């Protein structure tokens, strides 16, 4: 399976990128860092600069055709920038249009709100997004991880970095359930 990690060039919360990336690699799937600009993505530990990570795939009118699932890391600046980028919003929406699973943590549901894919769904997020989710027609819950199987796409969400273990376990389980190609091959993908 090929898993897209969509980030803006700056502002992604580092642990919300690296922990899910590691979970994907441990399952033998291929993680690809997708961004709206070429080069490297700047990660942060809250408000402090952290590492930078090479972009594998430049978003340019893409849809979900290239990937089997999508992970949306959080951080405040990352989803705020993504929701202002039509290509990024369209890319996210395309996963829901064709029923491919999506996982989003922390502030990442802002991009889901902009893509108009939360209506009729139940999800969790960083608490300050609760009103945005409700206003977009979703139901917000305060849970460590929530899996919503509303058709056509499964959505896995979590609130914060402290929820990463549950988040990774849930999205791995859901992504594997949707993998029609059987067990993933063992490989050693690069790290972000």
By annotation, the residues acting in catalysis are: 106-107
3-class SS at 109? helix
3-class SS at 72? strand
Query: Residues with Cβ < 8 Å from 185, sequence gap 6 or more?
Result: 28
> 81 near 59, Cβ under 8 Å?
no
**Kind of pairing between the strands at 145-148 and 40-45:** unpaired
Task: Give the residue among 30, 33, 16 at the shortest CA–CA distance from 168.
Answer: 16
Rg of the chain over all Cα atoms, to the nearest angstrom: 15
Query: Residues with Cβ < 8 Å from 173, sequence gap 6 or more?
Result: none
Largest CA distance in the chain: 43
Q: Mark 81-90 as b/e (b = at least 16 C-beta within 10 Å).
A: bbbebeebbe
């Amino acid at each position: 399976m090929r898993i897209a990690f969509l980030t803006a060039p700056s502002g992604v919360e580092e642990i919300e990128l690296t922990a899910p990336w590691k979970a994907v690699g441990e399952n033998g799937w291929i993680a690809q860092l997708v961004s709206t600009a070429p080069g490297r993505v700047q990660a942060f530990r809250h408000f402090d600069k952290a590492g930078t990570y090479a972009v594998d795939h430049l978003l340019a009118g893409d849809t979900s055709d290239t990937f089997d699932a999508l992970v949306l890391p959080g951080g405040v600046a990352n989803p705020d920038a993504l929701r202002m980028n039509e290509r990024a919003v369209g890319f996210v929406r395309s996963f829901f249009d064709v029923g491919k699973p999506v996982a989003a943590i922390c502030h990442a549901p802002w991009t889901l709100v902009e893509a108009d894919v939360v209506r009729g769904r139940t999800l969790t997020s960083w608490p300050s997004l609760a009103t945005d989710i409700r206003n977009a027609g979703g139901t917000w819950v305060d849970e460590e991880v929530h899996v919503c199987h509303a058709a056509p796409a499964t959505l896995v969400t979590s609130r914060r970095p402290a929820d990463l273990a549950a988040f990774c376990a849930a999205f791995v389980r859901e992504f594997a359930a949707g993998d029609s190609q059987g067990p993933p091959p063992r490989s050693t993908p690069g790290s972000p």
